[in-house]
Structures are given as C-alpha cells and as structure tokens.
Chains A and B, each alone.
Chain A
Amino acid sequence: MIACRSCGAQFDAALVRCPYCGTAYAPAEENEYMGQLEDIRTDLESADIEGYKAPEQHYKMGAPHSDDMRQYDTAYTDTRRRVIGSALRTCGLAKRAAILVVLIIAAIIMSVISSMNYADPDPDAEVRRDSERNAAAYAQEAEAYLQRGEYTEYMSYLYAHELQNCPPSEFDHLKSVTYVASEYYDCIKYMEVIILRSDDPDYFDGLDTDIGIFVRGVDEFYEVYEVQRESKQGRDYIACMDEMKTELEAAMRTYFDMDEDELREFLSTSEAQKGVILEEVLRHE
C-alpha cells in the first residue's frame, strides 16, 4: 500500500492511479508501459515480418537503455499531467459557458422578435417619402390653395402630405405664410367646434376647454402674424396673411356678436378675460 501524493489516501502499489482522486502513480505506470512495449516486441517477433530486425542491438530490456526509457516515461508522465490538468481546469466550464452563450443568444433573438411584433408600422413614412419625391408638384398645389384663399384647406393639404413643417426646399418660400395659416387654421377650427357644439343638455359640454384653446390660439395668431408679416420670407404672401386676419376678425365679430370697438377691446384683454367674455356671450349670460 502506498499513500497518494495528491489526496493522501492509501491504495495498492500495483494501481496506476489513485482510485480516490485519479492522480497518476508513476512507478506503476512505468511498469505498465514497459509491459506494453514488451508485448509489442513479442508480437513483432512472433509475426516474423520480412525486414524486421529484432531490436536487440539497439534496445535491450534492462540496464543499457533504461535512461532512454526513463526519458520517454518522463515525457509521457508530463504529457499526461498536462492533459489531466487541462481537463481539470476546463472540466464542465466550457459546457456551462456554451449553455450560457446559447441562452443569451436565444434571449436576444426572442427580444428582437418581440420588438418587431410590437412595433406598429409608421403609416406616415410612405407619405413622407412620397412628399419628398413630389415636393415641387405639391408646393405648386399648395400655392393654388393660397391663391384661392382656401387657407384651412391649404393647411389640411400640408398636414395630409406631412408637409406642415415644410422640410423640402421647395417649401422654403411658403414657411412664413404657413406659420400664420397654421394659427388661423386652429382658430377657425375651434370657432366652428364652439359654434356648432351640441345643444343637447345630456351631451358632454366641452365649451370651457374649447374656449380656452381658442383664446390661446387667437393670441398666438396675432403674435405669429406680426412677426411673419415683417419677415423677408413673408413679403410675397402679405396679402394672404392680411386676408386671414380679416377673416378671423370677421368671424369673431359675426359669431361672438361684437362690433369693431368691442373686438379691439376683446383682443386687448388677457387670455383669462377673453375666456370669461366668450363664455358670457356663448352661454347668453
């Protein structure tokens, strides 16, 4: 019985490795190795192969070549140690790492599929591409709306073609008038909503909210109008801007029952005061 050099357990000296931890026992391994070589030599001799010379002159079991054999044995043992050491180092780790990588890749793939399924297609993307392709024709069409004095239609046309921000260069000269038209559009829209609201007492009455949005829109219209009318870009469309202002004021006089002086006074008040005045007029208070 000998003690294992690695784990210290006792085992039979004839065993080539420790049965508990697997550490190689060099003397027993050497004996086994030598025995295998002897078996090979015996087999070759008994096979009587032509040209084969028994290695008696070069190799004799025992003393003369024992140094060579020890050298071979040392190399064998070193290799074996390296192989076992390497196996110990990576034993199960590579497998686990592979599983981890597969799981991460699977999670990424599933995440990408989920994102693709949840992403709704952008319905305006094709419209924007179309507008970029046909910018010149659309600019011409938009100008026709301006020439006819159809300002709400002009803005609707720009919105429908995603051109309200005038990105293509063909719309550069229309920027100023578009800013004013955008405010005019909001004012007219909310005036229509207010005037044509339901008179059914059971229907939700959003008058306060609509009045709030409208009065803010009116103030913004005048701010934008003053700035854009003086801008270089707006020079060619001053008539359009003035017409929008005239129509908006006419609409306010008509539908809010105001004369010119009352309208001027109304426009000079704050947003909150405008809201109160409009509510009084519209609710007949």
Chain B
Amino acid sequence: MNKPGIAKVRIAKVRIAKVILNILIVIAALVCLAMLADMMGSFKYANREVEDPAETGMMVFEYDLEHRAYGEIVNGWYVDRMSSMEAPAGLEPTYLVAEYAHTAFMSRVYEETGDAEAMAANSARREDLRNSLGDYGYTADEVDDMIINAP
C-alpha cells in the first residue's frame, strides 16, 4: 500500500530538483552570455590602437610653445622624468627646453645664494642646452626673458 506513495513522493522530489536545476541552468547561461560579451569587449580592449605618446606629447608641446606656457612644459618634464631620466624617443625637444628653463630658473637662485661652484656648473649646462636647442633656440630667449622679468 505504501509503495505507490513512495514512488509519487520520489517523482515529485525529482521534479522539484529538475525545476531548480533548470532555473540554475538558465541563470548560468545568462551569466555565460554576459561573460562572453565581456570577453569579446576585453579582446577589443587588448587590441585597441594605442596612440603614439611621442606624437601626442609633441602636439601638446607645440601648443604650449605657441602660448609661451613654459610652466606647463617644465611640469610635464618633471612628470616624465619620474619614469625616465632620458628623453623618450621623439620627445627630446621637450626635455631640452624644459631643462633649459630649469637651469635658467636655478641660475638666479645660485646668484642669490652666492654658490659660485653651483653657478658655474649650472651656467655650463645651460650653455650646452642652449646650443642643443636647434630650431627651438628662440625658446631660450623667451625663457630668459620670463626669468629676468619675474616677478
């Protein structure tokens, strides 16, 4: 007399388990779809075109020069030197102009402190930089002008 009842209970349990598993499968399938979309996006991200830092850097540099924003150039130099003491390929002029501005700034500081040794070393470096500026030689005059007339 009990056997049919037991079978029915067992069948009912199996049915409930099937429903639960079906729900879990649907959820897992949706998660899989989301992950698939995410993965496709990640491949796009991994293969994205990275803009040339030298090209971008020189564009910004030219813009700053156009507006005599040597403060920005010096700021960029300080930031770039946190990664490399040497100028990255293609960005050599930015390092030269910024370093010239730095030496010009320090020249008045050394004059004030009266440190002859530092002044001489700084002047020599400044002269070297001025001679290396090439097409950007005019920037040395502009920087000198700003330094002399400050504040």
Binding site for B on A (CB under 8 A): 5-8, 23, 85, 88-89, 91-93, 96-97, 99-100, 103-104, 106-107, 110-111, 113-118, 123, 148-149, 152, 156-157, 159-160, 188-189, 191-200, 202-203, 210, 246-247, 250-251, 253-257, 281-282, 284
* Contact partner, B112, options A7, A114, A253, A284, Cβ 8 Å: A253
Query: Complex: how many Å from CA A246 to CA B46?
Result: 50
- A89→B118 CA distance, assembly (Å): 90
CB-based contact A199/B68 at 8 Å:
yes
Is B67's CB under 8 angstroms from A202's CB? yes
Given A114-B35, A117-B45, A118-B45, is A196 in contact with B25 using a C-beta cutoff of 8 Å? no
Max chain A Cβ within 10 angstroms of own Cβ: one of B38, B70, B71, B72: B71
Write out, one digit per residue, whether chain B residues 50-87 have a CB within 8 A of any chain A CB (1) or not (0): 00000000000000100111111111001001111100
Interface of B toward A, CB cutoff 8 Å = 3-4, 7, 10-11, 14, 17-18, 21-22, 24-25, 28-29, 31-32, 35-36, 38-39, 41-43, 45-46, 64, 67-75, 78, 81-85, 101-102, 105, 108-113, 115, 117-118, 121, 143, 146-147, 150-151
Q: Could you tell me if A196 and B105 are in contact, using CB atoms closer than 8 angstroms? A: yes
Does B81 lie within 8 Å of A282, measured CB to CB? Answer: no
| A114 and B75 contact, Cβ closer than 8 Å, known pairs A93-B18, A99-B25, A103-B29 | no
Complex Cα distance, B125 from A87, in Å, reads 89
- Which of A88, A100, A189 is B21 in contact with, Cβ under 8 Å? A100
> Contact at A195–B36, with CB atoms within 8 Å?
no
Chain B residues with CB under 8 Å of A148's CB are 121
Q: Which residue of B lies closest to A92 (CB)?
A: B18
Interface SS of chain B: helix
Known contacts A96-B21, A103-B31; can you find 8 more A-B pairs with CB under 8 A? A5-B3, A100-B21, A189-B74, A191-B105, A192-B105, A198-B70, A199-B146, A254-B109
Nearest residue (CB) in A for B147 is: A195
23 A-B pairs with C-beta separation under 8 A:
A5-B4, A103-B31, A107-B31, A110-B35, A114-B35, A114-B41, A117-B46, A152-B102, A156-B82, A159-B82, A160-B82, A192-B101, A192-B105, A195-B151, A196-B74, A197-B70, A197-B72, A198-B68, A199-B68, A199-B146, A200-B69, A250-B112, A281-B151
Q: Is the CB of B4 within 8 A of A6?
A: yes
Contacts A156-B78, A196-B143, A202-B67 hold; do A246 and B21 have CB atoms under 8 A apart?
no
Q: How far is the CB of B75 from chain A (nearest CB, A)?
A: 5
A114 contacts across to B, CB distance below 8 A: 35, 38-39, 41-42
B102 with A192: CB separation less than 8 A = yes
Contact status of A107 and B115, CB under 8 A, knowing A193-B71, A193-B74, A193-B75: no
